Structure 1
Amino acid sequence: MQEDDRALLFGVFNEIAIIDQLGRAQLEATLPKGLIAAHFTVLNHLMRVADGRTPVELARAFQLPKTSVTHTVGALAKRGLVDVRPNPNDRRSKCVWLTDAGRKLRNDTITAMAPDFAALVAAIDPQKLLGILPVLRELRAFMDHRRNAEPPRDRPLDATGTAPSG
């Protein structure tokens, strides 16, 4: 890999991360008190992909520890936004199902973001956004495939980008 390629890729991922951070702040400003982006993300995932997922499947999809997902799902269940029921295929585990209230909250949140979306469309030509969408989908598909194909790293990398010895 060339130095120019590394700089390009870092720039792309850096911009995506900043956009994600800014988008999360906008999203959280529209959510009811006590809910955060992680809660909405679970609702949206269950609606987009199909509900009835196990916490392990959710953890894998979000690249989070199962304990974090279980905590998030528990908070949603307390609010009546999801229902946690025994897994019909394996009674030892559970599945997470959206409730009508969860679907409504997800849809109402998207509707509440309409002024933010309108401001974006007024500032950036929607055709430009349509133009980048295929590349973003291709990037996501690549990253999803890679996540599913590679075992997790045993050790985190240090500041120099190498695995610590020992």
Structure 2
Amino acid sequence: MPDLTHGDDEAAVNALRSAVMRLSRRLKHQRVDESLSPTEMSVLGTLARCGTATPGELARKEHVQPPSMTRIVALLESKGLVKLEPHPEDRRQKVVTQTERAETMLEESRRKRNAFLASLVEGLDEDEWEALRAAAPVLEKLAHL
């Protein structure tokens, strides 16, 4: 457990935050469709990972208010990236499903971002690459805590 009163731990947390933010910004610029906001892309990514969801479930997963998610889903639907269907058990609700067009766009986006990261990794030595590979599951865990 990091001790943020200890200078080394505080510096490490600060360096991690800064590096993750800078890398995230650089990755956000590697988009396939510039007309989508980062939030819209995140919703599509959540649907790709988790499958069909209600707007309320998406709002919780994306940490936004339900009215905001309703607007995001409407925008994605107008762009042909999601479809709304009746909930199989509760006809008062709708479920959101990504379309084939969204799947194709997300795959192209992943390829572009992966290629960008691969080009950065080429600048690492073998020890740095091994450390990064070992850190990937830990970073994934942090992203989902």
TM, length-normalised to structure 2:
0.78
Aligned-residue CA RMSD (Å): 2.8
Structure 1 ranges of 4+ moved more than 6 A: none
Instruction: Measure the CA separation in 2 of the matches of 1:43 and 1:68.
Output: 15
Q: Which moved more, 1:6-15 or 1:28-37?
A: 6-15
Question: 1: CA distance between counterparts of 2:84 and 2:23?
Answer: 31
**Which residue pairs with 2:112 in the alignment?**
112
1:130 maps to amino acid: R
Contact 1:24–1:37, Cα closer than 8 Å, also in 2: no
SS at the partner of 1:85?
Answer: strand
Long gaps (5+) in structure 1 = 144-166
Q: Contact 1:28/1:35 (CA < 8 Å) preserved in 2?
A: no
Deviations 1:64-105 (A, max 9, x none): 111222222111111101101111121111111011001001
Larger RCO (alpha carbons 8 Å, 6+ apart): 2
Residues 90-105 of structure 1: matches in 2 within 5 Å? 90-105=90-105
1:58/1:69 contact within 8 Å kept: yes
**Does residue 129 of structure 2 align to residue 126 of structure 1?**
yes
Q: Percent identity?
A: 26
- TM-score using structure 1 length: 0.70
Q: Which residue of 2 aligns with 1:23?
A: 24
Structure 2: which 5+ runs fail to align? none
SS of residue paired to 1:32: coil
